Amino acid sequence: MKIYIPTETKDGLKAKAYGHFGSAPFFTIYETEKETFESVDNTNSHHSHGMCHPIGVLGAYSIDAVVCQGMGARAVQNLNQSNIKVFRAAGETVADIIKKFKSGELEEITVGNACTQHGCH
């Protein structure tokens, strides 16, 4: 499974999670079976609110899940339509998030519990 995490830096497992999904400077992609990661620049980080398309940055990567601090209902719906699940991040670094993801501790973000305002996360 490939997990996509918005991050502040390209520091791999030590990278800090970024608060906003679409405008994150980087994304860390973690492969759970191989326990490998790759950092990717977000070339779509400058956008108007609601107009981001960060999944387009990773079109070549078969992403299975996104883990972020929060996301709006429309983004969740778009990801779910592509068979990508979304989970709420818990932890400060990629390593923290991966540990909690593997142990099943992360809450799934759905259209029903998604962010409804810009300051929710």
| CATH number for 64 | 3.30.420.130
Asked if residue 26 lies in contact with residue 58, where contact means CB atoms within 8 angstroms, the answer is no
Asked whether residue 111 is assigned to any structural domain, the reply reads no
Q: pLDDT of 20-61, one tens digit each?
A: 777 788 999 999 999 999 998 887 655 444 445 556 655 667
Tell me the pLDDT band of 12, cut-offs 50, 70 and 90.
very high
Asked whether residue 115 is assigned to any structural domain, the reply reads no
* Predicted local confidence at residue 54, as pLDDT: 55
Asked whether residue 118 is assigned to any structural domain, the reply reads no
pLDDT surpasses 60 at 118:
no
If we measure between CA atoms, which residue out of 69, 68, 62, 2 comes closest to residue 32? 2
Distance CA 108, CA 40 (A): 24
Q: What's the structural domain count of the chain?
A: 1
2-7 and 26-31 beta bridge pairing: antiparallel
Characterize 87-107 residue by residue with b for buried, 16 or more Cβ atoms within 10 angstroms of its Cβ, and e for exposed.
Answer: bbbbbebbeebbebbeeeebe
Segments forming the whole domain that contains residue 36? 2-102
Is this model's pTM higher than 0.95 or not?
A: no
